Structure 1
Amino acid sequence: MSTPVMTPVAVDPFDLPEVLGSGPVTWSSIDALAGGHLVRGVLHASDDRDVDCDLLAVDQAYPAPVASEAVRLLVHQAWRHGQVHLMSYDERLTLLVPGTSFSADLAMDAVGRLAKALGAAPSSFAVHLRLGG
């Protein structure tokens, strides 16, 4: 699995499509969780709009760091306050979370925090995970 190669750009949740905060949304993984630090996925909104949305565990440091120290600090601060840090890598919305890999619980927690950032009830979001390696 490759590491994002572009410089990240901060994303304001208010700049995301309004439909993500106003109806049912499903985040579906394209990749299996399988211990990787990057899980590609897609948000599917109630109006059939898809938004590329990946999960990135920012503490992965080998063979190279996936995030700068400054970004890691922002991610850990946001997480500690019940939020998720949003950035765009290669024009893909990315939810940045502490850690080096993903479990089902961590993926669901990140998507739930995205729902809150959008002003939506977490219960309006569903998570569809791909199994396998």
Structure 2
Amino acid sequence: MSPTSTDAVKSNLGEAGTNLKQAAVDAGHALKGAAGAAGEELKLGKASVKADLADSALAGIAAAENAGGAAREQVDVLMEKGMDLIDSAAELVRERPLASFGVAFAAGFIIAKLARSGDR
């Protein structure tokens, strides 16, 4: 007895089913492999982010430590400028005492007038 068309269709469908089953198994293996690779990439990425954040924190701490020194330097510069200004004012008073007295008197008079006008 020779195979009938029905037998051929059954055979072809059986082969198609087997191939589909194998394709599903292969897809599952591929997905598992991709998930594993993605997991490894996530672990590497997480480690990189942690390292970058740690470096950033260390740089911030170093900047904060240096900020105190920078502030002291600026205060020293301002104090030096203030001392220079006081010295130059004292020298001006020594050179021109009458003019200095006149300027101080005028400034005091103006400040007193402004203070009295603000009381009204």
TM-score range, shorter chain: under 0.3
Greater relative contact order structure (CA < 8 Å, 6+ sep): 1
Which structure is higher in helix share? 2
TM-score normalised by structure 2 residue count: 0.15
TM-score normalised by structure 1 residue count: 0.14
Which structure is higher in strand share? 1
Larger radius of gyration, structure 1 or 2?
A: 2
